[in-house]
Amino acid sequence: MKIRVFLLSLLVLFTAPASWGQDGETLVSESMCYACHQMQEASLGPPWQAIAARHAGNSEVMTDVLAGKIIRGGGGNWGNVPMVANQRVNEEQARIMAEWIMQQTP
């Protein structure tokens, strides 16, 4: 029985998603998002707080939309500069990042 538990633990350890144990802020930071976005001030992209404020009334749907934009990029919603796709993150990580963004408030 102990061997089964040990082997199962190893299986979980080596097959667990990379985002397990990572929070949205860490993923955002490690994914180079701060190159274009800041917390409160606009730079190349809109600030996290402005994104959350704009979509506060529809946060569940917008979390999915933002996760998609993180992975595939997008444009036209905040001006002329398009958001580039971030190929450094998977869907689960993008969702965690989008949830973190939607929690930012002024």
Q: Provide CB contacts within 8 A for 94, sequence distance 6+.
A: 66, 67, 68, 70, 71, 86
Tens of pLDDT along 42-72?
Answer: 999 999 999 999 999 998 999 999 999 999 9
- Cα separation, 17 vs 11, in Å, equals 12
Selection from 7, 100, 104 nearest residue 49 by Cα: 104
Name all domains of the chain by residue range, CATH numbers in brackets: 22-102 (1.10.760.10)
Of the pLDDT bands very low, low, confident and very high (cuts 50, 70, 90), residue 32 is very high
- Report pLDDT for 20: 53
Contact (CB, 8 A) for 55 and 87: no
Residues 77 and 92: beta-carbon distance below 8 Å: no
